[in-house]
Amino acid sequence: MKILLMGQQLFGKAVLEKIHQETNHTISAVCCFKNRTTAFLDPVREYALAHNFPIIEVDSFKDQKLIQKLKQTDADLCIMAYVTKFITKEVRDIPTHGTICFHPSLLPRHRGPSAINWAIIHGSKNVGVTIFYPDDGLDEGDILLQKEITISDDETLGDVYFNKIFPLGVDACIEAADLIEQGKAPRIPQEKQKGTYESWCRKNDARINWERSGEDIYRLIRGCNPKPGAWSKLKNDEYTFFDTKFINKKHGKTYYPGQVVDIDRDSMQIAVKDGFLLVSKVKLNNQNKQHILELTEVHKSKGEVFV
């Protein structure tokens, strides 16, 4: 088939590269979203330029000149590989077989732009990827295929995305295209009553509430690592937490939740309601991520309480 690829960042590039190098499909055109800064060349655009694929610049999908360009691609299928813009029905219906979209959750659970963050934060164990036919709702279209994975108790957002969701999602995009070509692609309506939606996981969502359980706080740290980063304040400094372990263990003494209990060469030990957090990497204010050993400020904080 002739594929119209819409995508961004490393995931979009990986899908484009796999179609190009490992399938019999051809790339009719690549939709690239206009750069908001000249300092960064999106990997999708970079790959398209390197292999002389036609590039269609996208600003608004309501632009009639853009719509005419898309029609001229004569595409059989459009694949949305990490697209955060809403695509109109007129555009979705241009290819012969319409448009399919990747989403990093088991729809209808965790609709929205920060699906993996919230899945970890809420304690979901079984997550995955969905390839679906987008409609006018947000992540509400019929399902073509799904792949399931398990999140372990210590995996972070980065672990789950890069080690599991990313490669599984790339393969699922190709498998879905092959099923459409073979005339074997199902359309399974989503069970609306089971749907959940969460918006962006932003900095305000990532502030640590030390009155929550240690397990809740640990899930927040894992679900925000690397972005947006779970954070808290100690005196006048802001700490963003990264490499962290949770020890479910009764306190031998009376500590305040959020109190710095001990600091050694490996970690800062912080009391929570039902145990301790061992934090080995943090960002202090707007500095780069650093190991606890490198931060002289931390070694003066024993006995202080995060708020």
Same domain for 143 and 283, yes or no, is no
Using the predicted structure, report yes or no on whether residue 38 has a pLDDT greater than 60. Answer: no
Same domain for 96 and 215, yes or no, is no
Burial (CB < 10 A; 0-12, 13-18, 19+), residue 102, is buried
Per-residue model confidence as pLDDT tens digits over 176-197: 999 999 999 999 999 999 999 9
The alpha carbon dihedral of 179, 180, 185, 188 has a sign of: positive
pTM (predicted TM-score): 0.93
Using the predicted structure, report yes or no on whether residue 139 has a pLDDT greater than 60. Answer: yes
Alpha carbon distances (Å) from 61 to 70, 85, 90, 100: 10, 9, 9, 16
* Residues 108 and 192 sit within 8 Å (Cβ to Cβ): yes
Using the predicted structure, report yes or no on whether residue 173 has a pLDDT greater than 60. Answer: yes
Same domain for 157 and 212, yes or no, is no
> Could you list the residue range(s) of the whole structural domain that residue 264 is in?
206-300
Residue 93: pLDDT band by 50, 70, 90 thresholds?
very high
- 291 lies in some domain: yes
**What domain count does the chain have?**
2
- 200 lies in some domain: no
Report the alpha-carbon distance of residue 178 to residue 105 in Å, rounded.
21
Using the predicted structure, report yes or no on whether residue 227 has a pLDDT greater than 80. Answer: yes
Same domain for 213 and 274, yes or no, is yes
Using the predicted structure, report yes or no on whether residue 22 has a pLDDT greater than 70. Answer: yes
- 112 lies in some domain: yes
Given this model, what pLDDT does residue 293 score? 83
Using the predicted structure, report yes or no on whether residue 36 has a pLDDT greater than 70. Answer: no
Same domain for 19 and 57, yes or no, is yes
Using the predicted structure, report yes or no on whether residue 205 has a pLDDT greater than 70. Answer: yes
The stretches of 51-133 forming alpha helices (DSSP H) are: 64-72, 89-92, 115-121
Residue 37: pLDDT band by 50, 70, 90 thresholds?
low
The alpha carbon dihedral of 70, 73, 77, 79 has a sign of: negative
- 26 lies in some domain: yes
Given this model, what pLDDT does residue 253 score? 83
**Taking residues 65-87, what's their average pLDDT?**
95
Same domain for 190 and 92, yes or no, is yes
Given this model, what pLDDT does residue 39 score? 53
Q: What percent of the chain has pLDDT over 90?
A: 88
Q: What percent of the chain has pLDDT over 70?
A: 97
Q: State the average pLDDT for the chain.
A: 94
Domain C-terminal end among 160, 194, 228: 194
Q: Which amino acid is at 226?
A: P
Given this model, what pLDDT does residue 1 score? 97
Same domain for 10 and 116, yes or no, is yes
